[in-house]
Amino acid sequence: MNMQTSSPITVSRVTDKAELQRFIRLPERLHANDPTYIAPLHMERNDALSTEKNPYFTHAEAVYFLAIRDGRDVGRITAQIDHEALKLEPGIGHFGMLAAEDDPAIFQALIDAAEAWLIERGMTDIRGPLNLSTNEETGLLIDGFDSPPMLLMGHDLPYVGPRLEQSGFAKVKDVVAYLYDTRGELPESAKRLIKRALHPSMVLRPMDWNRYEEEIKSVTEIFNDAWSGNWGFVPLIKAETEHMAKALKPLLDKKLVWFVEIEGEVAGFIVALPNLNEAIRDLRGKLFPFGWLKLLWRLKVSGVKTARVPLMGVRRRYATSLMGGLIPFLLIDAARRGSLEKGFTQMELSWILEDNKPMRKIIETLGAKTYKTYRVYQKSLGKAS
């Protein structure tokens, strides 16, 4: 803990490119002694925080703050308002990308700045961390610090949660990540279900590259249908779908993206991605001058050993049927077999709501184990710190 609490802390808003680079790179210093930390690519973080490049900002607004003490950056936070989320949960503003030295005064100064910005805009509650939405990175790591994060998953220092709780935040929801050994066969119980429920009208097929845009449209349609009504759900809009299709295309492989059709209609899908974090672990966020060569080598030649499933969904009208209960088994096993064929021996399934018992039962039946837990906190903005 930093004991120089007598030095004043200034919290300032990020207003230019130089300050944004300081904001992006601050966690690299904070995690300097953390062997499991992997710095996100600076290029990717710049795009994620760009109001011009990230379609999140077509329905949201955000501000980025840096905490400075003795001329040195000591913390950061975002405050944001997602107008699509407000339609579903009025009055709830968000915060995210919280990182700071272990000093309660720094955390409080950052939180105060985020809360003041949200209060000015009429928010009644603050929820997070969301980086920047539930469709990007969700929650603060509270368990599983001993392993590195996978693609598009957060990684935090153990003291951050307690500091939030000291500032009046309380748990609103946990989300979990499962680790699945792709070398294992389907359990006998799953094989019996498939034998009992498999119907001639059901077809399992890989992604069709020749219909890429149509396939992405199906993914978005099913995602918005499957997850509607779930806690924290915010629908993907057309601009986000198009952005996702362009951003993910270099990482997609037909062996890792699967669909189930029922009577010719797409009823469910799964998307697995090579764990890019494994390939960038020592690049320190930089692709230049030679980082991109290392990245290409590792992705295409030397081999990545892990993958992550960030997207899966089944149309709601099938969810409670016997065939609907079979679809996740078919999809996960297809992604497992495809991953193993690509040389990926482990696959992360994330994130899963802690109270999504049907999905958790399916995943655990397949033999996957929880290995990381992320927590979303919330606080009334009328509550004193």
375 pLDDT tier (thresholds 50, 70, 90): very high
User: What does residue 77 show for φ and ψ, rounded to 5 degrees?
Assistant: -165, 155
Q: Is residue 148 part of a domain?
A: yes
Binned at pLDDT 50, 70 and 90, residue 41 comes out as confident
Residues 191 and 315 in one domain: yes
Reported as type and span, the H/E element at residue 176 is strand 170-181
Q: Are residues 150 and 245 in the same domain?
A: no
| 335 & 219 share domain | yes
Q: Which residues contact 385 (CB under 8 A, 6 or more apart)?
A: 108, 111, 112, 167, 168
Quick one: pLDDT at residue 30? 97
Does 1 reside within a domain? Answer: no
Q: Residues 21, 153: one domain? A: yes
Strand (E) or helix (H) holding 264: none
Whole-structure pTM value: 0.92
Same domain, 156 and 198: no
How many domains does the chain contain in total? 2
Name the percent of the chain lying above pLDDT 90: 66
Is 37 among the domain residues?
A: yes
Is residue 39, in this structure, part of any structural domain at all? Answer: yes
Residues 240 and 335 in one domain: yes
Q: 194 with 49, same domain? A: no
Give the confidence band of 322 by pLDDT, cuts at 50, 70, 90. confident
What pLDDT, in 10s, does the model give residues 53-92? Answer: 999 999 999 999 999 999 999 999 999 999 999 999 999 9
Average pLDDT, the chain: 90
Q: Which domain holds residue 35?
A: 9-176+375-380
Pairing of strands 92-100, 125-128: parallel
Q: Assess if residue 385 is contained within a domain.
A: no
172 in the same domain as 47: yes
What is the domain-level CATH number for residue 337? 3.40.630.30
The C-alpha atoms of residue 260 and residue 199 are separated, in whole angstroms, by 12
